[in-house]
Amino acid sequence: MTSPEFPSVPVTEVPSAALLLDVREDDEWRLGHAPGAVHIPMADIPARADELDYDREVYVVCRQGGRSPQVAQYLARIGYDVVQVTGGMVAWQKAGLPLTAEGDHEAEIY
């Protein structure tokens, strides 16, 4: 899903120093996530949006691209400069981009 309110990019075009916001649920995050990503589940965004930096572009990612457009739309409406990451973390893993996980298991998304 794309929107005229904010741009979208594939996972391979997310800058390495980007503020990457992962909006997946806690159990999805624990399985694997991008190193350095900020984790705020979608349902918590309205209460926790002020934890993000208004002065930086926020790249929003979810599992496959269903939740991130909704979060990006909300953040754009309250003044953030947002970019939606198409394909989500499934595309991230398929592209061979780095993953990390909590605990001693190998990071995986699917």
Confidence of residue 1 (pLDDT cuts 50, 70, 90): low
Catalytic residue among 11, 58, 62, 71: 62
Sequence ranges of the domains in the chain: 8-94
Averaged over 98-108, what is the pLDDT?
A: 92
pLDDT digits (tens, 9 = 90+) for 45-73: 999 999 999 999 999 999 999 999 999 99
Residue 62 annotated to the active site = yes
The CATH classification number of 8-94 equals: 3.40.250.10
Residue percentage of the chain with pLDDT more than 90: 91
Supply the pTM of this predicted model. 0.94
| Rounded distance between C-alpha atoms, residue 3 and residue 70, angstroms | 10
Paired with 21 in beta bridges are 38, 60
Has residue 2 got a pLDDT over 60?
Answer: no
